[in-house]
Structure 1
Amino acid sequence: MKNINRRNFIKKTSLSAAGLAAATTFPFTGSAQDTRPKSALYMGGFAAQKLETVRIAVIGVGARGPAHLQFAASLPGTEIVAICDLFEDLATKWAAVVTEMGKGQRHQNIATYFGDEDKWKLMLEEVRPDMVFIATNWVNHAPMAIEVMNKGAHAFVEVPLAISIEELWKIVDTSEKTRKHCMMMENVNYGRDELLFLNMCRQGVIGELLHSEAAYIHDLRTQMNEVERGTGSWRTYHYANRNGNLYPTHGLGPVAQ
């Protein structure tokens, strides 16, 4: 199985399932061909070496980032070493919150980076974290994840992981090359309701599943007015320029399990 050309396999099975008519509009490009070096190793089943203390950095502490930051800080064996955001007050605020959480024993002397869109790169160079949470606007997700892995850290990325097929393959290539994990943090997979229904399905409580449908129905018009620092400053443009379900994994993730 390890020798199977996954890109061509996915391409051929997708096209045969969709039919030739759909194939004419499916956005496969030259990047769908396998141009990876032969030394690339499949990451399925890979487990990184255990670390006694996981040094963690966070990029983006506006909306989603603080939840990841506080959750990671609460886990044993973690150390928050750096926080990066465009805005100084957000970076310093959450550094202070997490420092207090450490009660003088952990998460001390957290480095903060702010004021420039490329400060996260300086953070990676200076701090050299073991893993990085990425909770920024969508266009930055893939480039940041790729650079994080290239700098020797594992990447944990908010939904969506990327905004194009080409970016997704670059992430796969980089993960295989660097032997670093890259995970999309699809929170809906792990919600209490979703796990409840998943357990019911596995226990056979509701009988045999024959068909499933999934969708992402979420009224986010209020976010369009958050233009100063909120998602309205960038997310609205995705709605205007991209026709489709921008969060397909919210619905498909739990159903796929």
Structure 2
Amino acid sequence: MDRPLIGISTYLEASARWGVWDLPAALLPAAYPALVAAAGGLPVMLPPGPPGTAAEVVARMDGVLVAGGPDVDPSCYGAARSPRTGPPAPERDAWELALVRAALERGTPLLGVCRGMQLLNVALGGTLVQHLDGHAGGPDGSTTGVFGEHTVTPVPGTRYAGLVPEPFGVPTHHHQSVDRLGEGLLASAHTEDGTVEALEPPPGSGRGWVLGVQWHPEMGGDTRVAAGLVAAARGAAAAAPRPQAPVGPRC
């Protein structure tokens, strides 16, 4: 069977430099498509666009991965901005919330990574802790640009525990976390201090394959979480196959 098509959301930067150019750019750390490819998927980038087109975009994907990135604007979950919350990214917030909601409505397999997990929670009415002391990535002078590591412990009986059944050291870089859980979500992994590290609908919810993880699996060598997404996307593709593209002349 062909590899399932996995759409990955991207950053939208007002200025990015390469070669002699300094221009606005939609970009994505290369580790994300590399992770999807290593897990057996075919990665494609989904740059921010009009939120009204998200459903059309998701309809063409077999699975969706919402990548990490800047802090979610607190206005998205009805909170006042903390001085330690990073600059807003309104275009990306609106686009990725629309992607999450479209995937949930369509039943498209969905994986949220770091910010992506937080957006999953917000999309379903949850809230966020705007700053965790002692965690890397804070805009208040704490360590930036360096991934740490901590152990994540699964909750038995959850989808995440089915993928990674043992406590596992993961690459991490965040200073925000889930506060109040979104409607129909349960915590499926925690750190030692109780921080929610994975989210998913409960078994039997009928939502399909949905998982959010707070850490960055693309920065480690373990592909089990991504492989879960790809396997679910392959099943979705088999259930509703797309027409095969014709093979054109080769150079």
Structure with the bigger percentage of helix: 1
**Do Structure 1 and Structure 2 share a fold, with TM-score over 0.5?**
no
| TM-score for the superposition, normalised by structure 1 | 0.33
Larger Rg: 1
| TM-score for the superposition, normalised by structure 2 | 0.34
Q: Which structure ranks higher in relative contact order (CA pairs < 8 Å, sequence separation ≥ 6)?
A: 2
